Structure 1
Amino acid sequence: MDNKLNILFLCTGNSCRSQMAEGWARHIKSDMINAYSAGIEIHGLNLNAVKVMAEAGVDISGHKSRHIDEFKDVPIDVVVTVCGHAHETCPYFPGNCKVTHVGFDDPPKRAKELADKGASEEEQLDCYRKVRDEIKAYVETLPESLK
Structure 2
Amino acid sequence: MTQETYNVLFLCTGNSARSILAEAILEREAMGRFKGFSAGSHPKGRPHPYALDLLQRLNHDTSFARSKSWYEFAIADGPHMDFVFTVCDQAAQEECPVWPGQPISAHWGMPDPAVMQGSEAEKRVAFSEAYRMLRNRISAFVNLPMDGLNAVALKSRLEDIGNRDGEDILTAIRKHREKTLG
TM-score bin, normalised by smaller chain: 0.7 to 0.9
Equivalent runs, 1:93-108 vs 2, <5 Å:
93-108=99-114
User: 1:19·1:60 contact (CA, 8 Å) conserved in 2?
Assistant: no
Equivalent runs, 1:78-93 vs 2, <5 Å:
78-89=83-94, 90-93=96-99
Confirm whether residue 67 of structure 1 aligns to residue 63 of structure 2. Answer: no
Report how far residue 106 of structure 1 moved: 0.5
Structure 1 segments of 4+ aligned residues over 6 angstroms from their partners: none
Aligned to 2:38: 37
Structure 2 residues without counterparts, runs of 5 or longer: 147-153, 155-182
Aligned to 1:58: 60
Partner secondary structure for residue 140 of structure 2: coil
Report the Cα distance in structure 2 between the residues aligned to 1:137 and 1:30, rounded to whole angstroms.
16
Report the Cα distance in structure 2 between the residues aligned to 1:145 and 1:86, rounded to whole angstroms.
28
Task: Report percent identity of matched pairs.
Answer: 27
Summarize the Cα distance change of 1:77–1:134 in structure 2 as closer, same or farther, 3 Å threshold.
same
Offset from partner CA, 1:76-116 (integer Å, 9 cap, x none): 11110000111111222243311210012100111xx21xx
Report the Cα distance in structure 2 between the residues aligned to 1:24 and 1:95, rounded to whole angstroms.
24
Partner secondary structure for residue 11 of structure 2: strand
Please tell me the root mean square deviation across aligned C-alpha atoms, in Å: 1.8
* TM-score, with structure 2 as normaliser: 0.70
User: 2:81·2:100 contact (CA, 8 Å) conserved in 1?
Assistant: no
* TM-score, with structure 1 as normaliser: 0.86
Report the Cα distance in structure 1 between the residues aligned to 2:145 and 2:121, rounded to whole angstroms.
33
Q: Aligned residue pairs: how many? A: 139
Structure 1 residues without counterparts, runs of 5 or longer: none
User: Structure with the greater relative contact order (CA < 8 A, sep ≥ 6): 1 or 2?
Assistant: 1
